[in-house]
Structure 1
Amino acid sequence: MTKQHLYLVDGSGYIFRAYFSLPKLTDPQGTPVGAVHGFTAMLWKLIEELNAAEAPTHLAVILDAGAKTFRNDIYPAYKANRPPAPEDLVPQFPLIRDAVRAFSVPCIDQPGVEADDIIASYALAALAEGFNVTVVSSDKDLMQLVQPGLDIFDPMKNIRIGRDGVIEKFAVPPEQVGEVLALMGDTSDNIPGVRGIGPKGAAELILEFGTVDNLLANLDAVKRPKLRDTLAEHAENARMSRILVSLKDDLPLAVPLADLTLKDPPHGPLGAFLTKHGFRSLMAKLGREMEADAAGPEPAPDVAFTHKDYETVTTSERLAWWVAEARTRGLVAVDTETDSLDATRAALVGVSLALEPGLACYIPVAHKKGEGLLAEAVEQLDIPTVIAALNPLFADAAVLKVGQNLKYDLIVLRRHGVAVLAPYDDTMLLSYALDAGRGGHGMDELSAKHLGHTPIPFKAVTGTAKAAITFDFVPLDRATEYAAEDADVTLRLLGVLRDRLWREGGTRIYETVDRPLVAVIADMEIAGIKVDRAALARLSAAYEVEIAALETQIFELAGGPFSIGSPKQLGEILFEKMGLKTGKKSSKTGAWTTDVTELERLAGDGVEIAAKVLDWRQNSKLKSTYTDALQAQINLATGRVHTSFALAATSTGRLSSNDPNLQNIPIRTEMGRKIRYAFVAEPGHTILAADYNQIELRLVAAIADEPALKAVYAAGGDVHALTAQEVFGEVTRDTRARAKTINFSIIYGISAFGLAQRLGIDRGEAARYIELYFSRFPGIRRYMAETIQGAKDCGYVSTLFGRKTHLSMINSKNAGERQFAERAAVNAPIQGTSADIIKRAMARMPAALADAGLTGTRMLLQVHDELVFEVADAEVEAASKVIKTVMEAANLPAAPLAVPLAVEIGTGASWGDAH
């Protein structure tokens, strides 16, 4: 007879993990259910995986009944520093209990005690009845329970912890963990412990003295006088802490052990629960079909993830079978494994393929075993063999290739000699076209959201911190489970997301804007841009001199040296030592506020030291973030910097640049502008910068249908001069500058307070400017009001090309959240349409340049409203015409505008010279 095995699930950890890792969702009744959905998916996954592995016989979910327990009677401040549960999580607690019961799993809590106490009581009772017991939790306190027959399963790290694991973590066996916890205390639970004693010191003392009581009874034997005095001073805290960390393990069992028998989830109650709360992807796991909802995903295939069924391909015969089968089916999901996140440097370690849900493989090519010079290859195919087999498949126009963040895989494969050609789909971009503003678009999040499945975490196979390894050292069995699952998940996501695309109006933005950019951006990242290391080094030296001079001036003004980079010390200098009276303190830390807004306010009031600190911060940031860092990021093989463009990172459709971020190089100061001069062309080439002129203001004029603004753009006039005339009654250098600030501020929904700060005027005057602006340009006020109302009605706003930005907080009862969403609603159609236009230009650019025979011209960067090219000197004139033509017509024919787009071209030996 199989031995009975009880699993006790610490439900609180699952709840908060679900709440903070998943987007905010509401059910058809308007109740928040993001945490409920995540909890349900994770519990279901746990039950499935346990059934597939160990087939537990009994299972229960244990929850906390309330905040106050017997420990508060012992120590009123117990857990007093914990913030209350988030407002939108509170109504989800009873729903989570409903979810557990819908699985026919007991959900147990008890007033006056904690979930840990209930777990301890059930665990010991089950052990006494001859059960094996596993506690599912990441809570270190529960490690006290580990003993023969009882282990811990940490779902966050996907590892089991027995006696050896406890000793590895605490340096003491499980029976002494409570003693260590009592000495070290716990800030999250507000357990005082003994001040100054951490985990290592606590373990050393307990290994020597055995228990807290024995330690306190033998303080004379503690060798270090200071430690001895500390222990004597905090002895009562230590004794009380020992009581607080002890688990109450003798509670009566509210539900008998026999009633914890694990059953298959009953379709009726579970289906009713999922239907009520609109969990469509989870309904699919029951094999049910639901009526399609225009805003909801279609059910996912009812196929479990069985990792042991994935194949490790190590022979040419099996590789040939997978390639042939993929070409026969006309569909393959692909994912690459590498030794680095930098696609332009990463070495290929393996490739995974999936042909249908559950049918997936991993093809290792560069795995090793051993370390350092002793590392040796494992049994696997060599890279040339795999490349030769995959090239015909990935170039086949009759096979749809599917990836998640496919750009990364395209770059890696291309660098290793494999060209992935159309047709292809990217599940990340499909999600982006459908759900921008509804959460992230990473594979793990999409899998949990649409498939009810949490993939194996990367850290679970590579480890963390000092124990981390690169993927080429992961054993093949674990590598196969992880990598093949990625391809499998990607293939399943395609079915869910593709079916929604046409119903929810995402086809045009995906097919004509986002997907075509994958190959274009991959080319740009591979190309990179040349950087003059010597120029950067000179700038770093100049910044260093300037920083040192500013430090000397700041110390003179402060009356002595201090750490300028320390907000705490700076606050003390400004508001205590120097006696400035207008400072304010943080409600959380009690420290003086010295952020940029506060320093700018002080500088505006004539406080010289504040202005100097702002300059010091700016120069320090320029040096550390750009001139120093960029030197380290130059690829030694190419002499160029290869930024990575994120295709689905913003809610409005804009691209973002990372590693390094080339979109945030400051250009308002002379020192900042100098950085762009370090980005240079190769010999015989020129840098060309093509910049849309005031594209967002032009779009405001067109979308808001404001006659006065449309007329000035149609006539090629100066919109800032028009605003200056309308608001201030005259056009001077000063009024035009103020008008420019007003023009760009109001379209972002700035308040009178915000405009007052930007213009250095009082709030009343700023409010008058805003009102005067709207009276002169009423179309803009009308656009803003109609857009906000439309967002409140349907929950999203759209660009001219149909890109939706979802605004989950647009109807929030919290005024701050609602106002933030309203500003986003006004801005997103403008900024998003601008982003769509430049992306359409980028997608068309390679073909246009090729058709013109401009083989010496290549696109390198996209920065806000600007495209940067490297152009052969002989092609500059012709390239300028083609680039300008493509960019100025990028909106056509999909979205004709009532105002013309204008592009300004600049050229030079460097990016700086091109401006």
Structure 2
Amino acid sequence: MGTDPDSAPEAGRPRGGAMAEAVAGAEALPEVKAGERHLILVDGSGYIFRAYHALPPMTNPEGVPVNAVYGFTTMLAQFLTRHVGSHIAVVFDAARLNFRNEIYPDYKAHRPDPPEDLVPQFALIRDATDALGVAKVQQEGFEADDLIAAYAKAYLAEGPGKVTIVSSDKDLMQLVRPGVQLLDPMKQKPIREAEVLEKFGVTPDKVVEVQALAGDSTDNVPGVPGIGIKTAAQLINEYGDLETLLARAGEIKQPKRRESLIEHAEKARISRRLVLLDEDAPLPCPIADFVARPPGDHKLEHFLRAMGFRSILARMGRLGEGNDPPRRGAPPVAVKHAPAPGPAAPDLAAPFSDYETVTTEEALARWVAEATAAGVIGLDTETDSLDARRAKMVGFSLATAPGKACYVPLHHGDTGDMLSGPAPAQIAPDRAFALLRPLLEDATVLKVFQNAKYDLEVMARAENGGFTTIAPIDDTMMLSYAMSAGKHGHGMDELSVLHLNHAPIKFDEVTGTGKARIPFGLVALDKATAYAAEDADVTLRLWLLLKPRLREEGALALYEQVERRMVGVLRLMEGNGIKVDGAELARIGEDFAQRLVVLEKQIHVLAGREFNVGSPKQLGEILFDEMKLSGGRKGKTGAYSTDAAILEDLSAKGVELAARVLDWRQLAKLKSTYVEALAAQIDPTDRRVHTSYGMAGTSTGRLSSNDPNLQNIPIRSEEGMRIRRAFVAEPGHVLLAADYSQIELRLLAHLADVPTLRAAFEQGEDIHSRTAAEVFHLPPGGVDKEARRRAKMINFGIIYGMSAFGLASRLGIPPGEGRTIIDAYFAQYPGIRQEMERLKEEARTNGFVRTPFGRKLWIPDIATKDPVRRAGAERAAINAPFQGGAAEIIKRAMVRLPRALTEAGLSARMLLQVHDELVFEVPDAEVDATSAVVKDIMESVATLRVPLSVEIGTGHSWAEAH
């Protein structure tokens, strides 16, 4: 049975933000006098995706998804009540492939497929357009933007008039001219020449020249490496147009810019053809068909009833049952008078105060009803632990609008005497949950969390069966992370200060600190309410600000298709955990302890006396005071530094004591961090460890692993492999490890477009041997292990922006030889140096670089005056797209794999993600079938210039699977 869309919000309710703004934007249309010709062209794709992302999932009576249909219908209907144009049409894209793919096959190759639940709605949206009496246009082989350009030109050629294009798409800004403007439905403002000049730095007639130079990572338009919008605008303003610039490129003073323009001139020309809209595209419908007209009531009503859109029918006065003909006097949707004013926009400046403590069932029922009517709510839980698997829910808070929030205590006073008083009155948890459950399971109410993974797990494990179905959800932490990875932190307090200019109440302020800290369940209810309700309030306000920004920041697909879906994927993985053989772990611990004793004795002999090997101060005194070694540096405390870099340098110079201390430190760390910590974290109920994945803690999009950290166990050392032998499969199962092969190097070959590297990957050659042969000029068959090792060091060092000095240190050679090797590498692969320079220039110009899939990765220190920090930022700018691109690829695979395995009838469970590797637990009988599905999905989630390759291994233990 489908969800009744009637309970979806009215257009204009702050439910999705974008939908209300799209409707309100109609008021910005220019005033048109009676009889004046005015063509309105609505960008159908913009409306569709805005509607889809503004509304939670819903289905019609037949179970077909219709949230985008509902939103589109509402927006267009509201628009029609306000427009004053003489002609109107909605322009749609016909298919992904068009004439641009013949010019450049990789055009839009990185665009993700539309969401699965959106695909069946496309045809219904076209039916909605018909039902509303609006002409619809599409043409195979051409994009909607081309048709918009062609119709605008043809309309003005027929006689005086105006054209308004309802879209904020930057690609359409080249069409702005006298008589043609855009209308931004998000900002409710027209876009004319001044707005285009502000965005691109050039007049509308020069926009294509700038876009040709700058390219577009979202559409995979190549452009010229190292040139962004600002630089492109400067060049075009100076030289006039692209061809003049390319002809005079030799005059450019900046050598990198000059060389890039000369080498990539043809890419610029191709890019111009890709971004230039075809104003002579065929017109599939005559303009006369666009004459504005009211819809036929019966046709529209029939469509609305078939979809189950009772709320729209109610606005028409046609909510009665059956298919009676329209009543006389029932107002049509498309009328040319001003509608009744809608609800006011949310007041983000509302005070953070006057929150309610809910202690009765009647009060909670009232809040649930209000939340259901609001359509979107902020939601937060208060617990007694940061471990979601063990946390007990002390209470929860709801926010229905800025400044309107409540706290519902459930277990205050359970753990003590509430500061010598009786436990306060509060709703019994089972009764509170019974009242809350319909709201959490209502598919028409969007639930907004900050760090949803934690709260969803806490609520799933709550008493009385918990809440296993909470949907749909949004996560403000991940909204921020999708747009601003590396720019700042994404915790609620930091986001609140940054976006709301409000510092929330600190946890320590209500619980105290140190020995005086009390559990949250003992906090007085007035203080608990101020703290907890504020959290829900801040979360909702952040959502209202951040969600509409996703599209303009180019992060909408990343958030919707990857980051939001990862919440459920990671919860499943964390719940699965991985089995650990406690007995094997104990044996490893005993062995490590004995080896540490032996190492300690060796170190004492080398030092000439006993000392605390774990004391950096004592070690420094022995190395630099007693042994008189050079290179000692004292810090602010007066003690010598003995960090890993110092010891590695001494070890390379033949100081055996330094080498043995490094061995001791590594073994001691493995013993404490993994052997002892893992043993303590084995869950006694299932004998498994359950790591927690951090979703927003890195600057590159990679996941982190915590409590315990399972991502830093050494894989190449004997000790690391021993620890991995303690991770085992259940009886009748094996562990399957699926590892992307050299994914960052493949991304390098893709981004830098290096023909020889591409050929090596396409032919399945060993990339390090190929590099060794070409850089060191070795004959066929002349690459030995040492040459390959050096080539491998170079390949990965280049990705991480390693300097000649750094490479020389790693290889144990003089710095001059390191420079010679790097120069030879870049001479062999010139495209790599150019790509590195382009990335540094992109970071300096924009403050960020992008992954191959368009994600912004911010580089905060790129403009610092400190040369050391700036050099580090430049290395980060070089590396970020490769790490970030690899992170996105494996996340895409993780999102798709659970469903693919289920559809294949397989019961494999995904357990771990470790850098470029996924680990599964697979029944013995399903190994071959699971391997095939996993390999197929992982190798097909992204289209690069080189093939992705996944290596599969299996075994009873994690070590055996490698």
CA distance in 1, matches of 2:815, 2:529: 62
1:332 aligns with 2:381: no
C-alpha distance in structure 2 between counterparts of 1:723 and 1:586, whole Å: 42
> What is the SS of the residue equivalent to 1:336?
strand
| Equivalent residue in structure 1 for 2:689, among 637, 641, 657 | 641
* Partner of residue 782 from structure 1, selected from 828, 831, 834: 834
Counterpart-to-counterpart distance in 1, 2:567 and 2:838: 35
CA shift at 1:371, angstroms?
A: 3.2
Q: State the distance in 1 between where 2:899 and 2:423 align.
A: 43
The answer to whether 1:690 aligns with 2:735 is: no
**Aligned pair partner of 1:410 in 437, 446, 456:** 456
CA drift at 1:337: 0.8
Counting only pairs closer than 5 Å after superposition, residues 581-660 of structure 1 correspond to structure 2 as 582-660=630-708
The residue that corresponds to 2:915 in the other structure is: 864
Identity of aligned residues (%): 58
Q: Equivalences for 1:102-141 in 2 at 5 Å?
A: none
Residue 562 of structure 1 deviates from its aligned partner by 0.5
C-alpha distance in 2 between matches for 1:751 and 1:419: 52
- SS of match in other structure, 1:809: helix
**CA displacement 1:844-881 (0-9 Å, x = unmatched):** 11111111112x21111111000111122222221111
Instruction: Provide, for residues 558-608 of structure 1, a one-character-per-residue CA deviation record: whole Å limited to 9, x for no partner.
Output: 11110111111101111222232x232125333222111121122222222
Is the 8 Å Cα contact of residues 339 and 471 (structure 1) preserved in structure 2?
A: yes
How many Å separate the matches in 2 of 1:302 and 1:538? 59
Displacement after TM superposition at 1:729 (Å): 2.8
1:720 aligns with 2:768: yes
Using a 3 Å threshold, how does the CA distance of structure 1 residues 301 and 828 change in structure 2: closer, same or farther?
A: farther
Q: Residues 771 and 907 of structure 1: is their aligned pair in 2 closer, same or farther, counting only changes over 3 Å? A: same
Q: What is the aligned partner in structure 2 of residue 700 from structure 1?
A: 748
CA distance in 2, matches of 1:660, 1:328: 42
* Alpha carbons 1:300, 1:451 under 8 Å: kept: no
Q: In the aligned structure 1, how far is the partner of 2:750 from the partner of 2:853?
A: 14
The structure 1 residue matched to 2:956, chosen from 880, 886, 909, is 909
Alignment counterpart, residue 400 of structure 1, candidates 425, 438, 446: 446
What is the alpha-carbon distance in structure 1 between the residues aligned to residue 415 and residue 616 of structure 2? Answer: 47
Aligned to 1:512: 561
Give the direction of change, closer, same or farther, for the CA distance of 1:663–1:601 in structure 2 (3 Å limit). Answer: same
Question: Structure 1 residues 435 and 729 mapped into 2: Cα distance closer, same or farther (>3 Å)?
Answer: same
Alignment partners' CA distance in 2, 1:685 and 1:475: 51
Matched-pair contact (CA < 8 Å) for 1:410–1:519: no
Query: Match of 1:539?
Result: 588
Q: How does 1:142-181 map to 2 (within 5 A)?
A: none
3-state DSSP of counterpart to 2:593: helix
Q: Give CA deviations for 1:629-659 in whole Å, capped at 9, x if unaligned.
A: 1111122233221111111111111111111
User: Given that residues 583 and 592 in structure 1 are in contact (C-alpha distance below 8 angstroms), is that contact kept between their aligned partners in structure 2?
Assistant: no
SS in 1 for 2:395: strand
For the residue of structure 2 that corresponds to 1:584, the secondary structure is coil
SS of structure 1 residue aligned to 2:552: coil
1:809 pairs with 2:861: yes
Contact kept in structure 2, 1:696 and 1:834, CA below 8 Å = yes
Which of 374, 381, 384 is the aligned partner of 2:427?
381
Structure 2 Cα separation of the partners of residues 495 and 302 of structure 1: 8
Given that 1:370 and 1:376 are in contact with CA atoms closer than 8 Å, whether structure 2 keeps it comes out as no
Flag the 1:847–1:370 CA change in 2: closer, same or farther, 3 A.
Answer: closer
- 2:735 partner amino acid: I
Number of equivalent positions: 615
Per the TM alignment, residue 776 of structure 1 is displaced from its structure 2 partner at its CA by 0.6
Give SS of 1:801's match: coil
Tell me the CA shift for residue 306 of structure 1: 3.9
1:321 maps to 2:366: yes
Does structure 1 residue 762 correspond to structure 2 residue 814? yes
Aligned equivalents of 2:368, 2:945: Cα separation in 1: 51
Decide whether aligned partners of structure 1 residues 456 and 703 sit closer, same or farther in structure 2, where only a CA change above 3 A counts.
Answer: same
Q: Distance in 2 between matches of 1:683 and 1:641?
A: 17
Q: Counterpart in 2 of 1:259?
A: none
Q: Which amino acid aligns with 2:953?
A: G
- 2:523 alignment counterpart: 474
Q: Is the 8 A contact 2:635 2:641 kept in 1?
A: no
CA contact (8 A) 1:583 1:593 kept: no
Give deviations 1:318-360, integer Å, cap 9, x for gaps. Answer: 2222222222221111111110001111111111111111111
TM-score (norm 2): 0.62
Secondary structure at 1:439's aligned position in 2? coil
Looking at structure 1, the residues matched to 791 and 551 of structure 2 have their Cα atoms a distance apart, in angstroms, of 43
Task: Tell me how far 1:303 sits from its aligned partner.
Answer: 3.1
- 1:746 is matched with 798
Residue 413 (structure 2) aligns with: 368
Match of 1:312 among 328, 339, 357: 357
Show CA shifts across 1:175-204 (max 9, x none).
xxxxxxxxxxxxxxxxxxxxxxxxxxxxxx
Distance 2:846 2:657 in 1: 50
Structure 1 residue 822 corresponds to structure 2 residue 874: yes
Q: Distance in 2 between matches of 1:363 and 1:294?
A: 47
Q: How does 1:411-490 map to 2 (within 5 A)?
A: 411-416=457-462, 417-490=466-539
User: For the residues of structure 1 that align with 2:835 and 2:199, how far apart are their CA atoms?
Assistant: 27
> 1:911 aligns to what SS in structure 2?
coil
Matching residue's letter, 1:622: L
Contact in 2 for aligned 1:857/1:879 (Cα 8 Å) = yes
RMSD: 2.0
Contact preservation (8 Å) 1:907, 1:913: yes
Structure 2: distance between partners of 1:596 and 1:303: 51
Change (3 A) 1:330 1:769: same
SS of 1:526 mapped into structure 2: helix
Q: Tell me the amino acid that sits aligned with residue 918 of structure 2.
A: L
The 8 Å contact of residues 301 and 492 in structure 1, kept in 2 or not, is answered as no
Question: Which residue is 1:223 aligned to?
Answer: none
How big is each residue's C-alpha offset from its partner over 1:204-242, in whole Å with a ceiling of 9 and x where there is no partner?
Answer: xxxxxxxxxxxxxxxxxxxxxxxxxxxxxxxxxxxxxxx
User: Which 5+ residue runs of structure 1 have no aligned equivalent?
Assistant: 1-290
In the superposition, relative to structure 1, how do residues 305 and 639 fare at CA in structure 2: closer, same or farther (>3 Å)? farther
Tell me which of 345, 349, 354 is aligned to 2:390.
345
- 1:898 & 1:465 partners in 2: Cα distance? 56
SS at match of 1:398: coil
Taking the aligned partners of 2:474 and 2:415, their CA distance within structure 1 comes to 38
Q: Distance in 2 between matches of 1:627 and 1:510?
A: 37
1:508 touches 1:801 (CA, 8 Å); kept in 2? no
2:710 to 662, 668, 674: 662
Task: Name the amino acid aligned to 1:823.
Answer: R
In the TM superposition, residue 469 of structure 1 has moved relative to its aligned partner by 1.7
What is the CA-CA distance between 1:432 and the residue it aligns to? 0.8
- 1:375 is displaced (CA, Å) by 9.8
Q: Which residue of 1 aligns with 2:111?
A: none
Aligned residue for 2:746, secondary structure, equals helix
Distance 2:915 2:836 in 1: 23
Q: Flag the 1:690–1:342 CA change in 2: closer, same or farther, 3 A.
A: same
Structure 2: how far apart are the matches of 1:815 and 1:870? 48
The answer as to whether partners of 1:330 and 1:400 remain within 8 angstroms in 2 is yes
Please say if 1:885 is aligned against 2:936: yes
| Residue identity in the other structure for 1:387 | F
After TM superposition, what 4+ stretches of structure 1 lie above 6 angstroms from structure 2?
291-295, 372-376
Structure 2 CA distance for aligned equivalents of residues 509 and 352 of structure 1: 29
Structure 2 gaps of 5+ residues are 1-194, 201-344
